[in-house]
Amino acid sequence: MSISRRALLGTAAAAGLSSHARAQAPTIKFGVLTDMSGPYQNVAGPGATIAAQMAMAEFKAAGFNVEVVSADHQNKPDVGVGIVRQWFDRDGVDVILEVANSAVTLAVQGVAKEKNKVFLASGAASSDVTGAACNANTIHWVYDTFMLAKSTGGAMVKAGGDSWFFLTADYAFGHALERDVGNFVKDAGGKVMGAVRTPFPGTTDFSAFLLQAQASGAKVLGLANAGTDTINSIKQAREFGIKMRLAGLLVFLSDVHSLGLEICQGLALTESFYWDLNPATRAFSDRFIAKAPGKRPTMVQAGTYSSALHYLKIASAMGPAQAKLDGAATVARLKATPTDDECFGKGSIRIDGRKIHPSYLFEVKKPSESKGAWDYYKLIGTTPAEDAFRPLNAGNCPLVKA
Amino acid sequence: MFGFTRQQGIAFLVMFAAVVIAPFFLYPVFLMKVLCFALFACAYNLLIGYVGLGSFGHAAFFGMGGYIAAYTAKKWGFNPEIAIITGAGAGAVLGAVFGWLSIRRQGIYFAMITLALSQMVYFFCNQAPFTGGEDGIQQVPRGNLFGLISLQSDMTMYVVVSVVFLFGFLLIHRIVHSPFGQVLKAIRENEPRATSLGYRTNDYKLIVFILSAGIAGLAGGTKSLVFGIATLTDVANAMSGEVILMTLLGGMGTIFGPVLGAIMIGSIENYLAQLGAWFAVTQGVIFVLCIMFFRRGLLGELAARLKLSL
């Protein structure tokens, strides 16, 4: 079943809903929980709230009210859980959107299940969200570590980068990235020449590690780290004139924007959305930049829009009162319906809550190649939707066996 | 009873009434968080306010108490009361190790040793398999109290948390106003003199350090059951800083001050979350104002003005 926005608007108009009738109609309430003041504020942050409001605006005339509230989880899981519980118990929020932080996401997942509400995660990286921790109330929209590892590891080897050395942040997340990417590199016929572990958190000087990487003779330097570690290691690799190709495993458009092309040029990275990918993404991004002057949407912000839009389509098909009633039942409907929007094109949602779409391997342009503001990426590889994510039965998600 | 003066008795009754009435007006989960932090701050105050030992590593006990309580409740299926007590025990054991090493030095050296040790605990929690690294221990069940009463409802949980808080608060009050507590204050005022009077000051300092760490572990364990999570936030350096702020803002060396400090910090964190980036700025401004105008902390200043001992 597919419902177009136009058809819905048409139906609503034909039904002759006056504004008075709408005021008494049920309200769908979104809660955008995100990082407004910390390391993810540019990846998600206020832009995610704007994205949710854009989805809301498209359903203005659909016969029910949509509201968006937002809050800052400060990257503290207990603060996030406190806000979400209050939203569910007191403020009548139906759907939690975004939540850029894996620890907070996993915690919110539990609350969404307990209260039988809906959680559409966008910013979290952990593939556990649809693995061991999956539940019937959660959908993971944009990307996960498995997708990043597969695209950057596998597609990079095909594009010629067949020998790797890893700069790995010394904690579980870094180890997992290094292991996963290494496996894909080997599967694709490449080889891993070695790895060096950098203490986490708190490493600011990567020079010794970078020289060790250079000495290995590998063609690609895989950055199995995140946030400030990634930014520092990219900057220092440039300063030291490291001749290897850099592959960032968790780098976003907003990071490239703040570092600048001079430093980032040649960096390979994976995203599932880029504003300049095709006419549809450009149309969306033009509407976004009108709301957020000077900013192009990141994939997390696009995911917030896309997930909110899909929910609203289903909610208006089911009837909003019905959609609010039972979170798990609504999520089952969301999974059963194919997705279609400007940002990610046609896609689907698996039983384990994984949203499926292609992933793209990009290379950051040289300053001379860039035609203007935000013109940063060129596409060097695409992984089709069905291959982009972890196979359904490999994630240990309890919903899959059931 | 408990060695309250008349004013303290009245203040305690006011606080008790507030604890009973508050959940009918305010959100219980928020109140539980504040109570856990209040207990944590009281435990810290026992050390800095009454013995003059400024520890920079108290998050280690709070966080480890949280991890142990969460782990035993989730993986071993402990009842909540046993899990919380185990958490307190973990805090106390860790406190014994920290204390044994750190009380040999004073002032800034003492602070630096506790800071270094707590950083070691942080890195341990970041790497150890049982803590779940940066994802933490998630979805910890609240379980059934004594195996009978389900704590799933926030109100039932609130009753448990407030009992834990009041127990801890009265315990601290009793410690401070006992002969043992008198010796502690003597050590704070003049340690060589206390030694010359025949007190083995290091024994006293070690015991109070363990008590403080144990109560911090109690608070951490309770918090992890309330939220169903134990994460790195609670062992991180910033948490040690936060408890210092709570104690200083409320009033160091007053028995009710840390509670007030915890209420303030908790409210700021909760109600300013909607402000986005302005959150940190507002918090900073409030701190600067408090430090400029209430050097002894809010309650300390009030008590000094009214010549009360609170």
Q: Would A162 be classed as within a structural domain?
A: yes
Query: Which pLDDT score is estimated for B302?
Result: 85
Q: What residue numbers bound the domain in which A104 lies?
A: 5-143+278-351
Does residue A186 belong to any structural domain of this protein? yes
Tokens 């990634």 belong to residue: A230
pLDDT reported for residue A7 = 53
* Closest residue, chain A, to B124 (C-alpha): A171
Q: Verify that A117 and A32 share a domain, yes or no.
A: yes
My answer on whether A30 and A161 are in the same domain is no
Residues A103, A171 within the same domain: no
Chain B interface with A: residues with Cβ < 8 Å = 27, 29-30, 33, 126-127, 132-136, 138-139, 154, 223, 227-229, 231-234, 269-270, 273-277, 279-280
Whether residue A16 is found in the same domain as residue A113: yes
* B127 contacts in chain A (CB < 8 Å): 170-172
pLDDT for the residue numbered A15: 46
Q: What residue in A sits closest to B225 (Cα-Cα)?
A: A78
Question: Which residues between 244 and 283 in chain A have a beta carbon less than 8 angstroms from any beta carbon of chain B?
Answer: none
Q: How many domains are there within chain A?
A: 2
Determine the residue of chain A that is closest to B274 in CA distance.
A71
Does the CB of A292 have a partner CB in chain B at under 8 Å? Answer: no
Q: Is A193 helix (H, G, I), strand (E, B) or coil?
A: strand
A252 and A364 both lie in a single domain: yes
Same domain, A254 and A285: no
- Is B138's CB within 8 Å of A171's CB? no
What is the distance in angstroms between the Cα of A282 and the nearest Cα belonging to chain B? Answer: 28
Alpha carbons A109 and A352: distance in angstroms, whole number: 13
Q: Please indicate, yes or no, whether residues A154 and A115 belong to a single structural domain of this protein.
A: no
Domain match, A235 and A135 both:
no
Two structure tokens written together for A22 = 């709408």
Q: In chain A, what's the furthest Cα-to-Cα distance? A: 72
Do A180 and A251 belong to one domain? Answer: yes
Task: Write out pLDDT tens, residues B148-160.
Answer: 888 888 889 999 9
Same domain? For A175 and A106 the reply is no
Pairwise CA distance, residues B109 & B61, whole Å: 19
Q: Are residues A117 and A128 in the same domain?
A: yes
Q: Alpha-carbon distance A80 to A70, whole Å?
A: 11
Report the distance separating Cα B181 and Cα B265, nearest Å.
Answer: 28
Question: Please, what is the angle between helix B59-75 and helix B80-102, to 10°?
Answer: 150
Rounded distance between C-alpha atoms, residue A232 and residue A247, angstroms: 14
Which residue in A36, A81, A126 is closest to B135 by CB distance? A126
Which pLDDT tens digit goes with each residue over B233-270?
899 888 898 899 899 888 888 889 999 999 988 888 77
The better pLDDT of the pair A1, B238 is held by: B238
Q: Answer yes or no: are the C-beta atoms of A398 and A133 closer than 8 Å.
A: no
Annotated domain spans of chain B = 26-236
What are the backbone dihedrals phi and psi of residue B116, each rounded to the nearest 5 degrees, phi first? Answer: -65, -45
Interface mutation target, options B29, B150, B225, chain A, most CBs of A under 10 Å: B29
In a domain, A202, yes or no: yes
**What is the interface size between A and B, counted as CB pairs within 8 Å?**
108
Are residues A229 and A294 both part of a single domain? no
Mean pLDDT of chain A: 87
With respect to residue A313, please indicate whether it lies within any of the assigned structural domains. Answer: yes
Q: How far is CA B254 from CA A136, B53, B240, B294, B297, in A?
A: 49, 15, 19, 14, 9
Question: Is A76 part of a structural domain of the chain?
Answer: yes
Whether residues A79 and B232 touch (CB distance < 8 A) is answered with no
Q: What is the pTM of this model?
A: 0.82
> Looking at the predicted structure, is the pLDDT value of residue A126 above 50?
yes
The residue-averaged pLDDT of B228-234 equals 89
CATH number for the domain spanning A310: value is: 3.40.50.2300
pLDDT above 70 coverage of chain B, percent: 97
Which pLDDT does position A12 carry in this prediction?
47
A393 found inside a domain: no
Residue A20 banded pLDDT, cuts 50, 70, 90: very low
Cβ pair B33:A78 closer than 8 A: yes
Q: Minimal Cα distance from B136: which residue of A? A: A103
Q: Do B135 and A172 touch (CB under 8 A)?
A: yes
Name the A residues in 331-370 with CB < 8 Å from any B CB.
none
Could you report the per-residue pLDDT of A293-334, keeping only the tens digit for each? 889 999 999 999 999 999 999 998 888 888 888 999 999 999
pLDDT at residue A94 tops 90 = yes
Residue A5: is its pLDDT beyond 60? no
Which backbone phi and psi does A76 adopt, to 5 degrees? -110, 120
